């Protein structure tokens, strides 16, 4: 299972704040592009992929949203924002993931805790960064977790927390998060 963690400092955490203009919902337009790149290929959905998203915008942050491709997730490219809205409306503050629709769950959990828990599970966690080791030099085991920042990268407290995590790069240019996902998928497709 390939896993991604997308951290958004700005994505809103209440369903009623999501209206027509997704940019005004804390750059949910970018989040939707990331989701599409993680799960969709031409005429099909990728298998064996899990996406963790941490929304750290107000008013109910942090929210940890999980989407997983193997569980008949009811997602289409047109309804991505609608699905997020539904998940945020149904979120509760109690501990533990709540499955809202098949393959889509949500809970209140911080970015740090999500990363630490995956690390404790024995996953190989990497931070995507233009300054990292070339992805082509990485030996892919199939249990990797790739952390990606939002339009502004990571705030200072998160950067400090991420200091000890190995960095990998997909190339010399700084790309959109969704482009990084596409390249990463492609590099792994070529290796496996």
Ligand X SMILES: C[S@@+](CC[C@H](N)C(=O)[O-])C[C@H]1O[C@@H](n2cnc3c(N)ncnc32)[C@H](O)[C@@H]1O
Interface with ligand X by CB under 6 A: which residues? 128-130, 148-149, 151-153, 169-171, 173-177, 180
For the record, the structure tokens of 187 come out as 């590099």
Closest CA to 146 of 174, 122, 172, 181: 181
**190 neighbors 146 (Cβ within 8 angstroms):** no
Rounded to 5 degrees, φ, ψ at 153 are 80, -125
Q: Closest approach of Cβ 97 to ligand X, in Å? A: 24
Residue 77 CB coordination number (10 Å): 10
CB-wise, 70 or 110, nearer to ligand X? 110
User: Closest approach of Cβ 66 to ligand X, in Å?
Assistant: 19
Which of 47/134 has CB closer to ligand X?
134
In angstroms, rounded to a whole number, what is the distance separating the alpha carbons of residues 10 and 100? 22
Grouping H, G, I as helix, E, B as strand and the rest as coil, residue 130 is: strand
Please state the closest distance from residue 156 (CB atom) to ligand X, in A: 12
Residue with smaller CB distance to ligand X, 62 or 149? 149
- Non-local CB neighbours of 84 within 8 Å, separated by 6+ positions: 18, 28, 31, 32, 65
What 3-state class would DSSP assign to 62? coil
Shorter beta-carbon distance to ligand X: residue 104 or 145: 145
| Cβ-based nearer residue to ligand X, 117 or 134 | 134
CB atoms within 10 A of CB 24: 13
Closest distance between ligand X and the C-beta of residue 147, in Å? 7
In whole angstroms, the minimum distance from the beta carbon of 100 to ligand X comes to 27
């Amino acid at each position: 299972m390939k896993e991604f963690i997308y951290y958004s400092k700005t994505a809103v955490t209440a369903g009623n704040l999501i209206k027509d203009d997704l940019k005004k919902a804390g750059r949910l337009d970018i989040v939707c592009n990331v989701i599409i790149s993680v799960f969709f290929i031409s005429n099909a959905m990728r298998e064996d992929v899990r996406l963790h998203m941490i929304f750290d915008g107000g008013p109910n942050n942090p929210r940890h949203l999980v989407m997983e491709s193997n569980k008949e997730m009811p997602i289409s490219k047109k309804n991505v924002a609608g699905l997020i809205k539904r998940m945020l409306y149904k979120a509760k503050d109690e501990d533990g993931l709540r499955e809202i629709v098949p393959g889509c769950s949500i809970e209140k959990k911080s970015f740090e805790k999500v990363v630490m828990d995956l690390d404790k599970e024995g996953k190989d966690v990497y931070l995507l960064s233009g300054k990292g080791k070339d992805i082509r030099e990485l030996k892919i085991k199939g249990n990797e977790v790739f952390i990606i920042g939002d339009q502004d990268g990571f705030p200072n407290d998160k950067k400090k927390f991420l200091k000890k995590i190995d960095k990998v790069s997909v190339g010399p240019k700084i790309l959109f998060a969704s482009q990084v996902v596409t390249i990463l998928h492609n590099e792994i497709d070529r290796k496996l």
